[in-house]
Each structure stands twice: as structure tokens, then as C-alpha cells.
Amino acid sequence: MKIISSIHALRAQLSGQNRIAFVPTMGNLHEGHLSLMRLARQHGDPVVASIFVNRLQFGPQEDFDTYPRSFEDDVEKLEKEGVYVLFAPHEREMYPQAQEYRIDPPHHLGDMLEGEFRPGFFKGVCTVVLKLFACVQPRVAVFGKKDYQQLMIIRQMCEQFALPVEIVPAQTVRAQDGLALSSRNSGLSEIERAQAPFLYQTLSALKDAIVAGRHDFSDLEKESMAALIAHGWQPDYLSVRRRCDLQPAHVGDASLVVVAAAKLGATRLIDNLEI
């Protein structure tokens, strides 16, 4: 595997490749990330990964400086997966000057749910993803469904800018107890880790209630939020939405998804389940 840190060298290395499958990451890789690499290989060749902790998507009170970084371990994992190129730029390479041009998603999609509780988050995500696409020039790019809203926003950005990149969604990878794998899970204490699967259990119970015929979505959301609070969580949101546009669900809507974000101690976890 070639490790490249400059945009010029990356473009030279990938010159002539027209079936690149790309997986952007912020590092601290786990089995969920590695499953994205395997899925990428099914859709293109060569597989290119990136590791870049993007300051633009972190708020002033968020964990940019303490975000877990494990570069040497990440390199070893990617080599075992047969990744062809790891693009690992320094911040000054990606942003040699202040990034004044930003991609701002539409209000109706970017300022709700995650966007409401993390103002500017999706602007930072879209900006860095567009820049990474310009650097790598992939044919396909793989994004996990765990970040459900992000996946939708990136897909729509590609459509509206007519980018020649197919966005491939990947199913959420979970631990045996149901906890969605996340780089931030490493911030959980031993006691918190034992409690963490309760978020998935809460979403599963809500899904089961809807499948069984309950359509009082507001009451279901309130009951689920109350259950999280009773177990020591600090929920930001838990909401039943339409998959097609992430707008609030109404009776008669098909193809739903329940999305949630909540803090357990100092660690903020997100999860979702399609219904």
C-alpha cells in the first residue's frame, strides 16, 4: 500500500485509473470501516482510502483535539485489506489557505437532526468530501448507513453538482450486543460500554411497535426518549422519519427510518434503524 500525503503525488499515482473506489475516513479504524473497504472492492479497482480529521466539521466545543487517532494501527489494517493507496494529507495540504468557499446543504435537510445539534457540521462535511473527490476523482465512493443523514446529503450533493461519482451505501456494522461500531466508542468507560447497547435496543423496540401497528409516532418518540433518560442517557433527538427525505413521518407513509443521537457520559452516539 502506498501512503501519500500530497495532492500532486496522489494525482500522479492515480493518473489513468478510471474505476477508483474511494472510502473517506477520519481514522481510528474499526471493523465497520474495514467492511467499507471490502464493499468498495466489489464496485471498483483500485481501492483508495483517506484518513483526514477535518477541522471544518467540528464545532468550537467539540472534540477535534481529542478525537481518537491511531495512524500506525490504521495503516496495518488497511494493508491487510489490500487497499492500494492511503491518502493521508496534513491539514496544511488540504487547507493551505483559509477555506472560504464552503458547500452549504439546503436548510430543509442540513439544519435538522444532526444539523440542529451540530451547527455547521454538514457544511464542513460537504466541503471536505467535495475536495477529497476533486483530489481522488473516484468512480464510486462508499459511505456507511450509520451516518444516515450524512449519506443522504452527500448523495444529493453529487446529484446537484452532476459529479461523476456513484455513492454506494453500506449497512451498519454492529457488535454482538447490537452497539453500532464507531470510533467514538473508545471513549466509553467499561460501565458505559455495558450500557451502550440500550440505544439500539430502544430503537428496536420502537421499530417493533410500528411494525405491530402503532402509528402514533409522536407518542412513541416521547416514550423512547423517556426510556433513554431513565437509563442515564442525555438524548438530543429520537425521531421517526421518511427514508426518502428525512421529513417527519405521518400515518400512511411507507419506508421509514428511526434516527437517534444521545450522550452516554461524555460520549455522543448516533444510530438508526430502517423500518
Looking at the DSSP bridge assignments, the partners of residue 258 are: 240, 273
Helix axes 217-230, 198-211, angle to 10 degrees: 160
* pLDDT digits 0-9 by tens, 176-222: 999 999 999 999 999 999 999 999 999 999 999 999 999 999 999 99
Do residues 55 and 64 touch, judged by C-beta distance below 8 A?
yes
Which of 166, 110, 107 shows the shortest CA–CA distance to 139? 166
Question: Active-site residue numbers?
Answer: 33
Check pLDDT > 90 for residue 63: no
What does the pLDDT look like over 101-143, one tens digit per residue? 999 999 999 999 999 999 999 999 999 999 999 999 999 999 9
Average pLDDT over residues 65-75: 93
State the CB neighbour count (10 A cutoff) for residue 149: 24
> How many beta carbons lie within 10 A of that of residue 251, not counting itself?
7
Q: Return the CA Rg of the chain.
A: 19
Residue 267 has which C-alpha cell? Answer: 460520549
* Residue 93 near residue 5 (C-beta atoms within 8 A): yes
Percent of the chain with pLDDT over 90: 96
Question: pLDDT by residue (tens digit) across 40-62?
Answer: 999 999 999 999 999 999 998 88
pLDDT value, residue 61: 84
The confidence band for 238, taking pLDDT boundaries of 50, 70 and 90, is very high
